[in-house]
Amino acid sequence: MTFQNVESHMVPMPNRNIDTDQIIPARFLKTISKEGLGDNLFCDWRYDAQGKPKPDFILNQPIAKGAQVLLAGDNFGCGSSREHAPWALTQFGFRAVISTSFADIFKANSLKNGLLPLLVPADVHAELFAAVAKSEHAKVKIDLPNQTLTTPGGRQVTFPVDSFAKHCLLEGVDEIGYSMQREAEIAAFEAKRVGSINTLA
């Protein structure tokens, strides 16, 4: 899944430590496919006991329509390793999540699904929340090749991204295919391994 540059308004979700159980509750993990998760993104925050949208939740407000960027509080995506979290986020329409920090497994899972975890320092983070508070239409531009984020105020800041992950996102590199090219090295490594188990024994 390749990543195209994004220009979008933002959905603000300032809560710190949003865990993957909130992003997609465990009861939706009984599926054997990747489909149909977007409708249940943030399910327990989004719908009441009767399944009706809660009007005060941000994803039920006009700002969420067409938004490709989620502006989230610190340490986004902590908890469970479920890849259903980035599947649900991308199915809803998000292409990037901006935060000051991300949980490791969520970050890795996102990068494999064309969802950019975009790391910003605290001052930029605060500036973005202030801009959204001022206008729902405040837009950011994300340029992955140049690793720049342009704030609604026109400030251009660079963001870090793992060089290999960037390459994969831009070129749509198939990581399994990439690793399979190393077959000779894998086989050579295996030939030297000692003390292996055999689960089939």
**Which residue ranges make up the site for another protein (CB under 8 A)?**
14-17, 19, 21-22, 25-27, 29-34, 44, 49, 73-75, 78-83, 101-105, 108-109, 112-113, 162-164, 175-176, 178-180, 182, 185-186, 189-190, 193-201
Choice between 14 and 141, CB closer to another protein:
14
Q: Which of 119, 151, 159 is nearest to 135 (CA)?
A: 151
DSSP 11: E
Taking the least distance from each CB to another protein, the nearer of 56 and 194 is 194
Q: Nearest approach, Cβ of 77 to another protein (angstroms)?
A: 10
Strand ranges of the sheet holding 116-119, from the earlier edge strand across to the other edge: 116-119, 96-99, 69-72, 6-13, 139-143, 148-150, 156-158
Residue 146 Cβ vs another protein, minimum distance, rounded to whole Å? 18
Least gap, CB of 141 to another protein (angstroms)? 26
Measure the CA–CA gap between 9 and 4, rounded to whole angstroms: 16
Q: Which long-range contacts (CB under 8 A, 24 or more apart) does 61-64 make?
A: 62/136, 63/9, 63/11, 63/132, 63/136, 64/11
CB of 66 to another protein, least distance (A): 27
Task: Tell me what percent of the chain is helix, strand and coil, each rounded to the nearest 5.
Answer: 40, 20, 45
Q: What is the helix (H) or strand (E) element at residue 111, kind and residue range?
A: helix 104-111
Q: Judged by CB, which is closer to another protein: 66, or 194?
A: 194
Instruction: Compare residues 8 and 86 and give the one whose CB is closer to another protein.
Output: 86
- Nearer to another protein among residue 74 and residue 141 (C-beta): 74
CB atoms near residue 56 (< 10 Å): 8
CB of 167 to another protein, least distance (A): 9
